[in-house]
Amino acid sequence: MEKRIFLFDESKSTIILKTSGITQFQFLLIFLIASLTPATAQISTPGIPMSRLKSLDSHSVPTISITSPDTEQLLREDAFTDKYGIAMRFAQNQPTHIDLAKEGLWQQLDDGSQICRLKITSAGAQALIMYYSTFEIPQGAQLFLYDEQQQQIAGAFTSTNNRKSGAFATEMIYGSTTMLEYHSTSKNSRHPQIVIDEVGYVYRTAETIYGTRGFGGSDFCEVNVACFEGAQWQQQAKGVARIIVKQGTSSVWCTGSLLNNTRLDHTPWLLTADHCGPNATQSDLDKWMFYFKYQGPDCENPTSDSTFRFYTMVGATKVASAGGAGVKSDFKLLLLNETVPDAYEPFYNGWSAIETPSPNGVTIHHPQGDIKKISTFTQPLISDSWTALPGTHWRVTWAQTQTNWGVTEGGSSGSPLFNPDGLIVGQLTGGTASCNHATSPDYYGKFSYSWDQSDTLPEHQLKPWLDPINMGVLALEGITDIAEKETAAASLTIFPNPGNGLVFIKLNKQNNTSVEIQVMDIAGRLVYQQSENASYDKFAELDLRHLEHGVYFVKVNQENGAIAVGKLILRGY
């Protein structure tokens, strides 16, 4: 995205400008740049199970069998619910109580360390998900999960994954059997507290993981985000996540996106649809899993994801929503339980609450929980409704593109809709588009409606959370690397402001150094420029009397890379 969006509030006079890409600028507040307390957000750290290193056999490992659900009945129910405002169920959570330390096989190794293994199986399952009511690993110990052939290994999980609530979840392991392996480096170490209270029985969407017709379960017309159509959307794609949503006895696929806020402090806000787990409890939310960077390396479908590194996080809290599907704009705003790690290369997507139909744009999504896809629209959005309440949704019709005719499917729910500037304008509720009915419409809850029209209460609006300092903006660009926010600029004083064209700027520099001063109009065009040798408390004078009356932005580039911007209002004599 090459366009520049300049955001301001008439009641504010000071903002900070900084880049969100190679050629883009965006504004940062010059005050109250808050930062989150660093936290370990990775589900796992690299490692190899000790059984593989020691070539241990698994014949004597105890096996616990989980009752299989009635998958035919589940599929009959799903046939009536997919894509019509009900998120795509793909797993049934079977209740259990499995205490690894009590039911696993303990062995002491020749180096004095201990290993505990347990096999969990459920006939006919395409994959299994472990949900934990208690998850406490002693410091220095490790937990791995893997399939019988160790084609897929999850872990190591360590004490950094412990939660106060005890609730946790681990990524799904393909196949009908999952092995848990715990390793403690000391024979005197206390046992772990690892209790599985539910096993997610995956009965669809994982059947082609190791199949031959291409990766994943999405339909034939979907377009990988690595294709030509996604070339200009790679930053936005980094903010989009596949979500395993747990609600009661069901696990469903959804999609969501990280969001920027006016503090630009990388708070891990995530937008999805409210019908993705509308009745999920906080205990459920603590077990939601978010997969970032889950996408193929190129336009062709991979044969499997066995070579993928999973960039996953667990747990969130719901802070705001506007009803489930059919009620208002169907948005849900989550706060992830932890900071997104730098290694995930997160992009906090920008957004627009301006009630203007976008002429074109894209959605980025995970249909049927598949790798990341992109669908394109080339006709203007139409204001519409999902049910009776008017003006809550954008109606979109997808277009044929160079690669194929991308649409949406179950699992795309909650996916962000982007305008040409790369800003989110809605999230998916549902619709009737499919590969066989590519011109049928889909419906996205309006970001503009969710902003402040759903209700007067903060828990039913986006505005209080995404504009926490009440800057008054209606659009905000995305932000990427955390390193960007560390380029904090000194306070920029401009006076008189409003002024008549003769303007003074106080340059707070203690050492003599060269600075560049630029003045831009509201459209981002450079209208004035001069250089100064700034020393402590020096005032630079700018003669801007030739400019028209209006709002301008004065940008000061310092040699250390800091950038400060102040808003200037010219009213003439």
The residues carrying an active-site annotation are 275, 330, 413
- The DSSP line for 450-505 is HHHTS-SSGGG-SHHHHSTT----SEE--B--HHHHT-PPPP-EEESSSBSSEEEE
Amino acid 9 reads D
Rounded CA-CA distance 546/503 in Å is 12
Alpha carbon distances (Å) from 548 to 135, 323, 495, 523 = 64, 47, 18, 13
Q: How many CB atoms within 10 Å of residue 136?
A: 17
Q: How many CB atoms within 10 Å of residue 343?
A: 12
* Inter-residue contact 121 to 133 (CB < 8 Å): no
CA angle (548, 552, 556) in 5-degree steps: 130
* Placement of tokens 């019709």 in the chain: 397
* Placement of tokens 């079977």 in the chain: 94
Rg from Cα positions in the chain: 26
CA angle (207, 212, 216) in 5-degree steps: 45
Please choose, from the candidates 408, 171, 202, the residue with its C-alpha nearest in 3D space to the C-alpha of residue 306: 171
* Inter-residue contact 435 to 221 (CB < 8 Å): yes
